[in-house]
Amino acid sequence: MLSRNIRLLSRRYSQAVTFRTTESSPTQQNENQVGLFYTMNNDVCKQLFAHGGLPKSFMKQTKTFTETALMVRLPALDIIDCIKVTDLNKPVVRYVLYGEKGAGKSLTLAHLLHFAHEDGFLIVHIPWVSDWLRRLPRDKEMSNSQSREGFVDIPLDAAAWLLHFKMQNQVLLKTGDLKTSKEYVWSKRESTPAGAPLAELVEHGIARVKYACDVIDVLLKEIKLLSNAKKCKTFVAIDGFNSFFYPLTRLSTPTKKKVAPEEVSLTAPFMEITKNDWTNGAIVVTTDQLAVPEDRQENYLPKYLLYQKGFEHLDPFVPMEIGRYTEREFLSCASYYRDRLWLRGPPELESELKLASACNPYNFMELCAPL
Amino acid sequence: MNSIRYKLSGVTCSVLQAANFRPAYIQCRLYSGPTSFPDFFKNPIFRKEEQAKLIEINELSKLAISPVKPPGVSETSSVYYDPLVNKLINHVMKMGKKQLARELVEKAFENVKRIQIERYHLASSAEAKAKIILNPKDILHQAIENCRPLLQLLPIKRGGIVYQVPAPITEKRSLFLAIKWLLDATNDKERTIHFPQQFAWELLDAANNTGKVVKRKQDLHRQCEANRAYAHYRWQ
C-alpha cells in the first residue's frame, strides 16, 4: 500500500515537472524536447518582437505569465533540421506553414525566427501582411508613388517595417560588412553612394518617410545580391503571405479607386525575394485563413488560400502542416497553465477541456480563461 | 408564430395519443414556458454528486418511475458548472441573447483572473500571496455574499401616510437585489469602458467589501435603522 502511494506520488510529481525544458537555444533542441516549453530571453524577445510578430492574445498571456515561453513542436524542429542540413549554395528552399485557425502557425514562425537569430541569419520578417493591406486605422497614409507610375505607397507602414528590420538585425548591421553595390539617387540633393553600409540606407528610409517604399525595394535587392555573394545568409519570414494574393485590398487611391495588391509598391519587392532565383538563405511563409476576408476562409489548405497565382509563384515548396495538440503536448500545456495559475480545479477538468477545445491550442487557451 | 407552434405541438400530441403513446413522456420543447409540464413532473437531477447522494439514501428507485422534466440547455454535469454563475448570466441577458451574456460574464471572469494573478506575482511575502483569491468564481461568491442586504423597506400605508417600514428579507430576494445592484453599478459607467472591464472592477471591489454596491447596501441598512420606529406598522 505504502509503495503504491509512493509510486503514485512520484508519478504525479514527474508529471508536474516535465512541461519545461532548460534548453533555451533553438539550435540545440531535439526530439526529446517535443511538447516542452522553453523560456525566451527577455532581451532577445524585445529585439525580435518589439514591433510585432507575436499574436496579440499571446502578448497578453506573456504579461500575465511574466515570461515568454514557447512550446517546442515537431513542425518547427523539422524545419530547423532541414535548414541545418540544406546546402546553401543551392537555390533557396521555401517552406509553407499551414493549418487551422489557432493551431500555432505564428508561434511556430516565432520559434523559427528565434532559431534564425541564434544561427546568425539576416532576418527579413513581415509580422502580419494584412496590417499593410487590410487594416485601415484612421491615420493610415496612402499616396501615389513618385518613382513608379500607377503604384500606391504606404509610407508610414514602410518606415515602421524598416525600424522593425533595423531592430531585428542591429548586430549584423553594426558590423558594417554589408555594403550597397551601386549609387542610388533619391532626389537632387539626396543620394546614397555605392559602398555605403546598409544601415545608412535603412536610416535614410526612416528619416525620409517619403522614400521608405523605394528604400525597401532597393534594400531587398541589395540583400539578394549580398546573399548571392556569400556576405550574409538570409532568413525570410512572412506571416499571412496569402494576403498578397487576395484580389482586392482595402486601400484606395486619393481618387477613391480600389487598389489591387499588385498595385501596392511594397508587394513587388517581397514577391521578388520569395522567388527561388537566389542562394544562401531560407524562406518560411505562412498561409492563414485570418489574413483574408471571410468569403475566402472555407479551407485552410495552401492551394485554396494562395489562389492559382500564388501557388505557382511559390511552387516548388515544402508544405508543413501545423496540427492540433497531440496527447503529450496537451498534457504538458495543461500542466504549464496550472503552473502559471491560469488553470485550476479538479483533474477531471483536463479531459473535459480536451473534448471541448478539440485540442486546438487557441481554443484551449480561451476555454481556460474564465476558470 | 406562437399559435402555429401550439397547433403543431397539438397535432403531434394527438398523433402520438392515437399511436397509444403517453405524450407526457416525450420531451416536447415546442411549448413555451414552464406550463408545458404538469405539476407531478419532477425537476431533473443532472449533477453526478446529487445522483450519488440519491443512490446512497435509496431514493433513486422512487424517482425512476415518475416522469421528469428535461434539463435546460445550460444545466449540465460539467465540472465547471455553477448555479450562481448561471443565475448571473440570466440576469445579464437581454432580449434572449444568452450566448452574448455568457461571453460577457466569462470575459469579466478573465479580467478578474488577470488582475488577481498580477497581484499575486507582485505580492512580496508568501502570506500575502496566500491571501489572494485567484479563482474568479470564488470572487463572485464572495462579492454577492457581501452585497446581500439583511433588511428591506416596505411601503405601508397607515392613516393616509405611506411609511417606509423595515422588514426582514427572504433569501431569494436578497440574492436578486445583490445581483441587480451589481449590474446597476456596472452599467453606470463611461461609454468607452466596456462591460466586462467595469464588471470585473465592481466584483473585485465588492469582494473586498468596498465600492458602490456595498455602500448602497449599507445605506439601506442605515435607512432601516433610522425607520425602526415604524417597525410596528408591519403588524398593526
Domain CATH code at residue B104: 1.10.455.10
Residue of A349, A369, A370 with shortest CB distance to B79: A349
Tell me if chain A has a CB within 8 Å of the CB of B49.
Answer: no
Domain assignment present for residue B132? The answer is: yes
User: B177 lies in which domain range?
Assistant: 82-236
To the nearest whole number, what is the mean pLDDT of chain A?
89
Domain assignment present for residue B209? The answer is: yes
Looking at residue B215, its pLDDT comes to 96
Would you tell me how many other CB atoms lie within 10 Å of the CB of residue A253? 15
| A344 contact residues in B (CB cutoff 8 A) | 134-135
Contacts of B172 (CB under 8 A, 6+ apart): none
Domain assignment present for residue B17? The answer is: no
Q: Which residues pair with A124 in a beta bridge?
A: A236
- pLDDT grade for A127, boundaries at 50, 70 and 90: very high
Q: Pick the closest to residue B135 from B185, B84, B90 (CA basis).
A: B84
Contacts of A60 (CB under 8 A, 6+ apart): B114
- Residue B167, SS3? strand
CA angle A299/A301/A302 to nearest 5° reads 125
Residues of chain B with pLDDT under 50: 1-32
Q: How far apart (Å, rounded) are the C-alpha atoms in residues B185 and B146?
A: 15
> Looking at residues A24-30, what average pLDDT do you find?
89
> So where are chain A's domains?
1-73+323-371, 87-321
Tell me if chain A has a CB within 8 Å of the CB of B149.
Answer: no
> Looking at residues A143-168, what average pLDDT do you find?
90
Query: Which chain B residue shows the shortest CA-CA distance from A67?
Result: B121
**pLDDT tens-digit readout, A230-260:** 989 999 999 999 999 999 999 888 888 889 9
Residue of B80, B109, B120 with shortest CB distance to A349: B80
Chain-centre distance of CA B72, in angstroms? Answer: 15
Q: Quick one: CA torsion of A139, A291, A78, A112, rounded to 10 degrees?
A: 0
The percentage of chain A sitting over the pLDDT mark of 70, rounded to a whole number, equals: 95
Which residue type does B169 have? I
| B121 contact residues in A (CB cutoff 8 A) | 66
Domain assignment present for residue B169? The answer is: yes
**What is the C-alpha end-to-end distance of chain A, expressed in Å?**
35
The percentage of chain B sitting over the pLDDT mark of 90, rounded to a whole number, equals: 61
The answer for A92, left when phi > 0, alpha when psi is -120 to 50, beta otherwise, is: beta
* Preceding omega of B136 cis (within 30 degrees of 0): no
Whether residues B121 and A66 touch (CB distance < 8 A) is answered with: yes
> Looking at residues A341-357, what average pLDDT do you find?
89
- CB burial of A277-305 (b: ≥16 within 10 Å; e: otherwise) equals ebbbbbbbbbbbbbbbeeebeeebebebb
| B120 contact residues in A (CB cutoff 8 A) | 341
**pLDDT tens-digit readout, A292-314:** 999 989 999 999 999 999 999 99
**pLDDT tens-digit readout, A162-210:** 999 999 999 999 887 888 888 999 888 888 888 888 999 999 999 999 9
To the nearest whole number, what is the mean pLDDT of chain B?
84
- pLDDT grade for A149, boundaries at 50, 70 and 90: confident
Domain count, chain B: 1
Looking at residue B65, its pLDDT comes to 86
Domain assignment present for residue B100? The answer is: yes
Looking at residue B33, its pLDDT comes to 52
Looking at residue A17, its pLDDT comes to 52
Looking at residue B68, its pLDDT comes to 86
Whether residues B79 and A342 touch (CB distance < 8 A) is answered with: no
Task: Please give the helix or strand (H or E) that residue B160 lies within, else none.
Answer: none
Instruction: Quote the cell numbers at residue A171.
Output: 548586430
Q: How far apart (Å, rounded) are the C-alpha atoms in residues A127 and A55?
A: 9
- pLDDT grade for A147, boundaries at 50, 70 and 90: confident
Residues in chain A: 371
Q: Pick the closest to residue A329 from A35, A41, A89 (CA basis).
A: A35
pTM: 0.85
**pLDDT tens-digit readout, B162-221:** 999 999 999 999 999 999 999 999 999 999 999 999 999 999 999 999 999 999 999 999
Tell me if chain A has a CB within 8 Å of the CB of B135.
Answer: yes
| A341 contact residues in B (CB cutoff 8 A) | 117, 120, 134
Looking at residue A312, its pLDDT comes to 94
Looking at residue B194, its pLDDT comes to 96
Whether residues B105 and A369 touch (CB distance < 8 A) is answered with: no
Query: Which chain B residue shows the shortest CA-CA distance from A366?
Result: B110
SS (HEC) of chain A: CHHHHHHHHHHHHHHHHCCECCCCCCCCCCHHHCCCEEECCHHHHHHHHCCCCCCHHHHHHHHHHCCCEEECCHHHHHHHHHHHHCCCCCECEEEEEEECCCCCHHHHHHHHHHHHHHCCCEEEEECCCHHHHCCCCCCCCCEECCCCCCCEECHHHHHHHHHHHHHHCHHHHHHCCCECCCCEECCCCCEECCCCEHHHHHHHHHHCHHHHHHHHHHHHHHHHHHHHCCCCCEEEEECCHHHHHCCCCCCECCCCCECCHHHECCHHHHHHHCCCCCECEEEEEECCHHHCCHHHCCCCCHHHHHHHHHHHHHCCCEEEEECCCCHHHHHHHHHHHHHCCCCCCCCHHHHHHHHHHCCCHHHHHHHHCCC
Instruction: Answer whether residue A102 shows pLDDT above 70.
Output: yes
Looking at residue B38, its pLDDT comes to 81
Looking at residue B58, its pLDDT comes to 86
| A371 contact residues in B (CB cutoff 8 A) | 80, 109, 136
Whether residues B109 and A370 touch (CB distance < 8 A) is answered with: yes
Domain assignment present for residue B58? The answer is: no
Would you tell me how many other CB atoms lie within 10 Å of the CB of residue A233? 19
Looking at residue A344, its pLDDT comes to 86
